[in-house]
Amino acid sequence: MSTRAERFAWCLYDFANSSFPTVIVTVVYVIYFKNVVVGEGHVGLSDRLWGMANSLAAAVVFLTAPFLGAVADAAGRKRAFLAVYAFACVVATALLALTGPGTVALAVTLFTIASIGFEGSVVFYNAFLPELVPADRMERLSGAGWALGYVGGLACLLVVLPFAKSHTSLVPLAVAGWYLVFSLPSLALLRDRARPSPGSLAPSVVAEGGRRFLSTLRGIGEHRSLSRFLTAYFFFENAIVTVIVFTVAFTKDTLGFTITENIILVVVMNAIAAPGAYAFGRVAERIGCKRTLVVTVCMWLAVVAGAEVSAWPGLFTAPGAKSVFWGVATLASLCIGASQATARTFVAQLAPEGRSGEFFGFMAFAGKGSAILGPIVFGLASDISGSQRVAVATIGAFFLAGLVLLLRVPAPSCSSADCSPQ
């Protein structure tokens, strides 16, 4: 179905784009945004603004991904859409170097555009998966890509560490350069296999994409496995996205982690997550996608419970609370990539031939719909209650709802070529 070079190039895009969520969203720029752009002493406000920026980007992808995915399928141009979104993220990320004290509007605007580019590109990147390998090999390739992504995020973080404190404004430039350089092989080697619909690229293909989207939307109930899975995915992805967005904010503001401790935390988490994602890809080959997801969501519930315990007032000394959270973070590292890589495989195996962009558009529709809600709920809960520990409880509620719904999803036979629901 594909060459080894093409499959490696596909995985390399994960290596490239993971620099953005690792360095910008999770570790370095989020602290710069809170401490410098908004200013220290405004924890609730900075949480709310950061959550709103992430949610606004998610809303744009939420509203456009299924339609554009269908258009990309109809045009046979997934690579072109991938390039446009990737370059949008690169340019907006580079421009974040212009932000500083008081530039809240500029920072929120640029970060939102960069996030739209990052999240939108993932829709079309994921859509290549069912075209690269047979169904019974998707788990392994998806896990390998996710694992390489953690390696890329960690490597980029290590590159920027020497100047992250003294020249933080240069960090976005380094991330943009990293993203651009390592995404070029993917854009050069990946090729569209879907046959374009008859007619010119525009407007007939746009109309055909719209027709496909509306047809699938009207008949979504006929795709029982997909519709039920996306409902469950909406809830547990909600929680995962919120964890990614607010982990460093939580450890800094509630547990008293220093910038250095947070950087070490993320380095260790990425180092554990990479083999974890690959290992769970192999597990999914043996026990199936659904069972693997159930296991990882249960692990997530244990993570939330551990985070609550670590932050419980008076239960631990400050060093003790940090030690407990290190154990929590280790468990989270093992399942974060596994959850998302397995979910990606689940959808890839359900997508009919020639409609992967459309189906991954619906996955983004559910995922970004959840990403709108999760960060806003966490930010509001933190702001209103004055306690991030209370906000963490909302994450647990999302995971629990996702687990209950996931148990009702018909499980595809992930190791078979037809992947029919069991």
CATH value at residue 383:
1.20.1250.20
The answer to the question of residue 417 being in a domain is no
16 within a domain of the structure (yes/no)? yes
Domain-embedded: residue 412: no
> CA–CA separation, 177 vs 180, rounded Å?
5
**Domain-located, residue 196:** no
Is 421 strand, coil or helix? Answer: strand
Residue 262 CB coordination number (10 Å)? 21
In sequence order, which residues have a C-beta less than 8 Å from that of residue 84 and are 6 or more positions away? none
Tokens of 385: 């209650």
Residue 250 lies in a domain: yes
Helices (H), 288-351: 289-310, 318-350
Q: How many domains does the chain have?
A: 1
Residue 415 lies in a domain: no
CB 171 within 8 A of CB 28: yes
Q: DSSP string of 159-199?
A: HHHHHHTT-GGGHHHHHHHHHHHHHHHHHHH----SPPPSS
Please report whether residue 254 resides in a domain.
yes
pLDDT at 226: 76
pLDDT given at position 203: 52
Q: How far apart are CA 368 and CA 350, in angstroms?
A: 20
Residue 414 falls within a domain, yes or no?
no
Determine the pLDDT at residue 412: 60
Whole domain around residue 64: which residue ranges?
A: 4-191+203-406
DSSP state of 352: P
Q: pLDDT tens string for the chain (422 positions)?
A: 678 899 999 999 999 999 998 899 877 888 889 888 888 766 677 777 887 887 788 778 777 777 777 777 776 778 888 999 999 999 999 999 999 998 999 999 999 999 999 988 988 888 888 888 887 778 788 888 888 988 999 899 989 988 887 888 899 999 999 999 999 999 999 987 766 555 444 455 555 555 665 665 555 556 677 778 888 888 898 888 888 778 877 888 888 888 788 888 888 888 888 888 888 888 888 888 888 999 999 999 999 999 988 888 777 777 888 889 999 999 998 888 788 888 888 887 777 666 666 677 777 667 666 666 777 788 888 888 878 888 888 999 999 999 999 998 876 654 433 444 43
For position 365, what pLDDT does the model report? 67
